[in-house]
Amino acid sequence: MSGLRPADSLTIFFSLLLLIVTALFRNAVPAAGYLMVIFGSLILFQIILSRIGAMNSFLSLTRDIIFPVVSVLIIFDSLGLIVHRINPQDIDYLLIRFDYLIFGGYPTVYLERFIYSPLTDILEIAYSTYYFMPISLGVFLKVRGNNDIFEKSLFLILFCFYLSYVGYMLFPALGPRYAMEHLQTAEVGGFLVSKPIQDLLNLLEGVKRDAFPSGHTGIALTVLFLSYKYARNIFRLLLIPVILLILATVYCRYHYVVDVIGGVLLSVVTIVVGDVYYKFWMRRTHGSSV
Same domain (yes/no): 140, 242: yes
Closest CA relative to residue 252, chosen from 111, 158, 152 = 111
- Terminal CA-CA length for the chain: 20
> What is the rounded CA–CA span in Å between residue 134 and residue 71?
14
| Of 206 and 37, the one with more pLDDT | 37
Tell whether 120 and 5 lie within a shared domain.
no
- Check: CB of residue 225 under 8 Å from CB of residue 267: yes
Claim to verify: residue 272 and residue 162 sit in the same structural domain: yes
**Chosen domain end from 45, 61, 86:** 86
DSSP designation for 254: S
Q: Side chain identity at 60, as an amino acid letter?
A: S
Where does a domain end: 32, 63, 86?
A: 86
Residues 214, 267 within the same domain: yes
Same domain, 164 and 152: yes
Domain boundary among 86, 115, 134: 86
| Residue 286 confidence (pLDDT) | 65
- Alpha carbons 94 and 66: distance in angstroms, whole number: 38
Residue 67 sits in which domain range?
1-86
Integer CA distances (angstroms), 156 to 44, 118, 197, 225, 271, in order = 22, 35, 28, 11, 7
**Residue 264's pLDDT band (boundaries 50, 70, 90)?**
very high
**Cβ contacts of residue 133 below 8 Å, gap of 6+?**
219, 220, 223, 238, 241, 242
The answer to whether 50 and 4 have CB atoms below 8 angstroms apart is yes
Task: Examine the pLDDT at 1 and tell me if it is beyond 70.
Answer: no
Using a cut of 0.85, tell me whether the model's pTM lies above it. Answer: yes
Q: Which pLDDT tens digit goes with each residue over 5-52?
A: 999 999 999 999 999 999 999 999 989 999 999 999 999 999 999 888
Tell me: do 42 and 107 sit in the same domain. Answer: no
Number of domains in the chain: 2
Is the pLDDT reported for residue 223 higher than 90? yes
Q: Do 280 and 242 sit in the same domain of this protein?
A: yes
